[in-house]
């Protein structure tokens, strides 16, 4: 249809062709093509046709139809994002399991993926897991020298040159002691009374692998290992230290034993992280292989417009009503260009402002209705309903007398 011609009055019928809508999101959908002309007729009759002339063209009705589907998709996808964002954060936006429609019309199962990723960030700070790599470097002690450069030690140990902006976060200064794991899983624990009494004094009991270790939960073992290591760092170290900026200061002053340093002053080892690596790993959740970016928030989770073909009749009914309200609002704006039209012996007042007000009110009512319905479909609300149903069912079952079986 040639819309360049001045055809202000709708003729009563239309014929949709691809390209008649502003964006063309649904033009290739055969069901949309079929319903576009039916919608135009419905919307025209909704504002008074054929009793009254309707100053709209086919393209106005098609635009209203497309806009209504877009709004419906927007409302539905908002609920989908609320339901599924926490389960999809960190997923690469071009993952192979997603098609051109992203997560649209896809069931996203609940998972602990995001919680696991978040817990690893806490693990980095708690020195138990995490994403960030820990590096090790050492400082060679010098008699009489207490202060040493951490940056120099890192560059020497790793054979690198650090940029001024590459900060270092020292996490642990290591005392040269047997690993806690070796002492905790000592195969001779429990076989000697002295060793057993020593463990008892530290409240470790007889948790030997050969006795009752297998009955203990894993977290209990981890906590005991951490207790041994913490005890070493607090009570058994031969020296103490302070860290100020990029320098570490050792107490007491390194001294000689004969012609050599005291054994425990020969080297100080420390474990550290590069601050920039820590920041990068926090941003990428440890996935440095990302090439196209990852889902981070509601703005880039891949949900597309719902295909009109897949929308059920209940959704299509809402779209028709909302599109008709848009068409009514359009007609109101057109008639509002002139408040009245002169006729012989008088003038006719146009109802443009009334149509605009009615169209806007109908749109707001439909949006409110749809949002209230969709909010009941969130996972939180569905779980609440299931919990209520289960509670009521249990109460009903409790009132039913048990059967008596006679053997």
Band (pLDDT 50/70/90 cuts) for residue 95 is: low
Task: Encode pLDDT of 361-378 as tens digits.
Answer: 999 999 999 999 999 988
- The angle at the Cα of 297, spanning 283 to 101, to the nearest 5 degrees, equals 115
Alpha-carbon distances of 353 from 64, 241, 333, 341, 366, rounded to whole Å: 19, 79, 7, 15, 20
pLDDT of residue 189: 46
Task: Encode pLDDT of 204-232 as tens digits.
Answer: 554 444 444 445 667 777 787 777 777 76
Band (pLDDT 50/70/90 cuts) for residue 234 is: low
Task: Report domain extents, the chain.
Answer: 30-101+307-398, 122-284
Q: What is the pTM of this model?
A: 0.65
Residue 325 or residue 344, greater confidence: 325
Q: What is the DSSP string of 167-226?
A: -EEEEEEEP----HHHHHT-TTTTTSHHHHHHHHHTT-TT--TTTTGGGS-HHHHHHHHH
Does residue 241 carry a pLDDT above 90? no
Which position has the token pair 């409790």?
398
């Amino acid at each position: 249809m040639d819309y360049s011609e001045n055809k202000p009055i709708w003729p009563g019928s239309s014929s949709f062709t691809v390209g008649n809508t502003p964006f063309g999101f649904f033009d290739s959908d055969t069901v949309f093509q079929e319903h576009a002309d039916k919608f135009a007729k419905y919307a025209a009759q909704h504002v008074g046709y054929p009793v009254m002339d309707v100053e709209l063209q086919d393209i106005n009705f098609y635009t209203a139809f497309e806009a209504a589907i877009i709004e419906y998709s927007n409302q539905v996808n908002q609920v989908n994002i609320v339901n599924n964002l926490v389960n999809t954060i960190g997923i690469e936006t071009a993952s192979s399991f997603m098609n051109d429609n992203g997560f649209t019309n896809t069931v996203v199962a609940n998972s602990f993926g995001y919680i696991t990723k978040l817990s690893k960030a806490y693990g980095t700070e708690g020195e138990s897991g995490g994403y960030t790599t820990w590096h090790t470097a050492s400082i060679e002690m010098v008699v009489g020298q207490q202060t040493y450069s951490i940056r120099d030690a890192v560059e020497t140990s790793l054979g690198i040159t650090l940029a001024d902006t590459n900060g270092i976060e020292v996490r642990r200064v290591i005392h040269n002691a047997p690993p806690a794991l070796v002492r905790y899983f000592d195969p001779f624990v429990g076989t000697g009374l002295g060793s057993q009494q020593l463990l008892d004094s530290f409240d470790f009991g007889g948790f030997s692998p050969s006795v009752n270790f297998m009955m203990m939960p894993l977290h209990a073992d981890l906590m005991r290992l951490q207790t041994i290591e913490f005890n070493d760092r607090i009570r058994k170290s031969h020296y103490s230290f302070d860290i100020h900026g990029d320098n570490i200061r050792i107490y007491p002053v390194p001294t000689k034993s004969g012609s050599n340093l005291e054994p425990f002053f020969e080297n100080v080892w420390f474990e550290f992280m590069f601050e920039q690596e820590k920041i990068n790993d926090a941003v990428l959740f440890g996935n440095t292989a990302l090439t196209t970016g990852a889902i981070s928030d509601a703005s880039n989770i891949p949900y597309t417009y719902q295909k009109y073909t897949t929308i059920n009749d209940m959704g299509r009914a809402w779209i028709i009503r909302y599109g008709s309200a848009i068409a009514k609002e359009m007609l109101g704006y057109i008639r509002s260009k002139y408040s009245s039209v002169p006729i012989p012996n008088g003038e006719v007042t146009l109802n443009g402002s009334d149509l605009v007000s009615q169209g806007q009110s109908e749109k707001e009512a439909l949006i409110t209705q749809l949002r209230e319905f969709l909010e009941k479909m969130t996972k939180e609300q569905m779980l609440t309903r299931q919990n209520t149903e289960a509670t009521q069912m249990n109460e009903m079952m409790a009132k039913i007398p048990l059967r008596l079986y006679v053997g």
